């Protein structure tokens, strides 16, 4: 009988261990857990980006001070597919999910349009359609944001489902001002001028251009810069792909691929082995004069080398300077509230407080975002410096492109695969890659 008892104890212990495992996997921030039993735990998940995470942690402390019966559990994981998985698993856990507030990496993009029949629904649309996301239309804090931005970034089916925290641009190049001054170089405004800049650096033994090829998508930032300046109207072109009026083999797209190949041919040696995390430090230490990266990394570069003088300009893909004068990018970070969460009230209070002018201003300055609220004062010199390029802000290719289901590798995901071209990849000519992409696209046409 004693052994029986032992067995029961063992089973119980094992189950407790398992239960404890599922709890301990989330890192919790904030106040002591001593009297947490009486407290409401507000669960927020996020991806890792140091400057932003630090601000949110600070903000959570403020929030907990204002609402003493709330404990915020703020969990962060790497920004790659790990975060997408975390969103999926947390949303699916139990009938209430295991999260109260979660941000999307973009705004509500990628929903099938009337011209894209048969395209797959993105995850956020599946969630909203299943009634899992709260309707924020009537919340007072929505009024703090620009009407146009609410319409463009936070609205789906005429209802507001998210709070977008700002825009980022990523179709430009960071440049080292001191190196430019040393060789008497101006910011290039046309493709030929960019070629000149690269040539001068190369002639003087300076690495001109850094790309983070190992993660592939950072090359895509430069490619999207070329697309934004070479295409007259990207959305019309994308619609045309669906209707058959345009092809991936059109001269304009071949020009994009050709110039992408030129950039890669001029990039620093070994760029296909450089990962995204390393790139800013190479630039900050002056090892390379220009890098293709998003404006959000300005704070990272500044932290890596506070003395560095640097700026940002749009990649001039065209020889018509007028087409190169604007940056393209996306609406970043969109907070959503889980609708049947028991802590919905506090979730709304959290968003309300974050949307207050003072807190929001601190946030965008910490994050390096371009504000979606009116009259926000940007203290960052860097943002002030790129202001002229933002007046005609355009949405980038990956925000506009809608893909067909089950497409092959040459056109899969949201970007054009210039990285498959030599010297990065195995394909020799832009014509060959364009042909393969178009063949993949045609093969995936809805039957």
Partner 1 sequence: MYPFGKGKARLIPYLYLSIPLLLYVVFGFGPSLVTILFSFTDATGVRGQEWSFIGFENYKTFFGASNAGDRMDAIGRSLYFAFAVVIIQNAVGLFIAILINKKLRGDKLYRAVFFLPVVLGVTVSGLIWQLVANPLGGPAQSFLKFFGTSSNFFGDYNIAFELIIFVQIWMYMGYSMTIFLAGLQSIPSDLYEAGYMDGASGWKAFTNITFPMIAPAFTVNMLLSIIGALQTFDIIYVLTGGKFNTTTLAFDVYATAFGTGTADYGLASAVAMIQFLFVFTISMVALFYLRRREVEA
Q: Is 273 in the site for partner 1 (CB under 8 A)?
A: yes
Q: Is 132 in the site for partner 1 (CB under 8 A)?
A: yes
Q: Is 91 in the site for partner 1 (CB under 8 A)?
A: yes
**Which segment (116-124, 239-247, 307-315, 370-378) binds partner 1 by CB under 8 A?**
116-124
| Closer by beta carbon to partner 1, 257 or else 370 | 257
d(CA 106, CA 151) in angstroms, rounded, equals 14
| Helix, strand, coil percentages in the chain from 3-state DSSP, rounded to 5 | 45, 15, 40
Q: Which of 127, 145, 175, 242 binds partner 1 (CB under 8 A)?
A: 127
| Closer by beta carbon to partner 1, 255 or else 440 | 440
| Closer by beta carbon to partner 1, 248 or else 274 | 274
Q: What angle do CA 401, 405, 410 make, to 5 degrees?
A: 70
Mapped onto helix, strand or coil, the DSSP state of residue 311 is strand
CA 275 to chain centre: 16
- For 345, residues 6+ apart whose C-beta sits below 8 A from its C-beta are none
**How many residues contact partner 1, by CB under 8 A?**
50
Residue 142 CB, shortest distance to partner 1, in Å, is: 25
Q: Is 280 in the site for partner 1 (CB under 8 A)?
A: no
Question: How many residues in the chain?
Answer: 447
**Which segment (20-28, 189-197, 307-315, 417-425) binds partner 1 by CB under 8 A?**
417-425
Q: Is 110 in the site for partner 1 (CB under 8 A)?
A: yes
| Closer by beta carbon to partner 1, 105 or else 177 | 105
What is the CB neighbour count within 10 angstroms for residue 154? 24
320 in Cβ contact with 191 (< 8 Å) = no
Q: In this structure, what are the phi and psi dihedrals at residue 423, rounded to the nearest 5 degrees?
A: -90, -5
**Which segment (140-148, 175-183, 187-195, 407-415) binds partner 1 by CB under 8 A?**
407-415
| Closer by beta carbon to partner 1, 103 or else 110 | 110
Cα–Cα nearest to 118, from 398, 404, 399, 401: 404
| Closer by beta carbon to partner 1, 33 or else 443 | 443
String of contacts with partner 1 for each residue 188-227, x by CB under 8 A? -------------------------xxxx-----------
42 in Cβ contact with 346 (< 8 Å) = yes
407 in Cβ contact with 201 (< 8 Å) = no
The CA distances from residue 388 to 300, 318, 326, 382, in Å, are 22, 18, 8, 12
Residues lying near partner 1 in the complex (CB under 8 A): 3-4, 7, 10-11, 14, 80-81, 84-85, 88, 91-92, 95, 97, 110, 120-123, 126-127, 129-132, 213-216, 269-270, 272-274, 278, 282, 405-409, 412, 420, 424-426, 440, 443-444
């Amino acid at each position: 009988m004693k052994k029986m008892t032992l067995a029961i104890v063992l089973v119980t212990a094992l189950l407790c261990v398992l239960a404890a495992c599922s709890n301990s996997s989330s890192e919790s921030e904030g106040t002591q857990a001593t009297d947490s039993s009486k407290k409401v735990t507000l669960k927020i998940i996020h991806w890792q980006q140091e400057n932003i995470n630090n601000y949110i942690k600070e903000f959570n402390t403020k929030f907990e001070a204002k609402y003493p019966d709330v404990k915020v559990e703020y969990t962060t994981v790497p920004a790659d597919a790990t975060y997408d998985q975390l969103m999926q698993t947390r949303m699916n856990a139990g009938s209430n999910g295991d999260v109260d507030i979660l941000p999307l990496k973009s705004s509500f993009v990628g929903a099938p349009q009337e011209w894209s029949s048969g395209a797959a629904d993105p995850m956020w649309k599946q969630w909203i359609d299943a009634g899992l996301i709260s309707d924020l239309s009537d919340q007072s804090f929505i009024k703090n944001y620009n009407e146009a931005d609410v319409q463009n970034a936070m609205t789906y089916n005429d209802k507001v489902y998210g709070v977008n925290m700002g825009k980022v641009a990523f179709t430009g190049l960071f440049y080292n001002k001191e190196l430019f001054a040393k060789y008497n170089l101006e910011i290039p405004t046309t493709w030929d001028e960019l070629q000149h800049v690269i040539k001068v650096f190369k002639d003087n033994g300076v690495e001109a251009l850094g790309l983070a090829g190992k993660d592939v998508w950072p090359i895509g930032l430069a490619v999207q810069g070329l697309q934004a300046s070479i295409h007259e109207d990207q959305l019309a072109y994308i619609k045309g792909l669906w209707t058959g009026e345009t092809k991936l083999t059109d001269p304009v797209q071949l020009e994009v691929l050709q110039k992408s190949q030129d950039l890669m041919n001029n990039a620093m040696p070994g760029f296909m082995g450089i990962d995204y995390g390393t790139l800013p430090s190479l630039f900050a230490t002056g090892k390379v004069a220009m890098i293709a990266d998003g404006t959000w990394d300005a704070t990272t570069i500044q932290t890596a080398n506070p003395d560095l003088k640097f700026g940002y300009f749009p990649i001039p893909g065209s020889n018509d300077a007028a087409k190169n004068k604007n940056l393209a990018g996306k609406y970043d970070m969109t907070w959503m509230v889980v609708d049947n969460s028991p802590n919905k009230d506090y979730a709304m209070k959290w968003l309300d407080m974050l949307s207050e002018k003072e807190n929001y201003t601190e946030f965008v300055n910490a994050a390096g975002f371009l504000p979606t609220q009116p009259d926000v004062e940007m203290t960052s010199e860097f943002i002030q410096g790129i202001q002229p390029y933002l007046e005609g802000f355009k949405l980038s290719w990956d925000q506009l492109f809608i893909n067909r289901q089950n497409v092959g590798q040459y056109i899969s995901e949201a970007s054009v695969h210039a990285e498959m071209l030599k010297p990065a990849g195995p394909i020799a000519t832009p014509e060959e890659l364009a042909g393969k992409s178009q063949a993949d696209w045609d093969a995936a046409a809805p039957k």
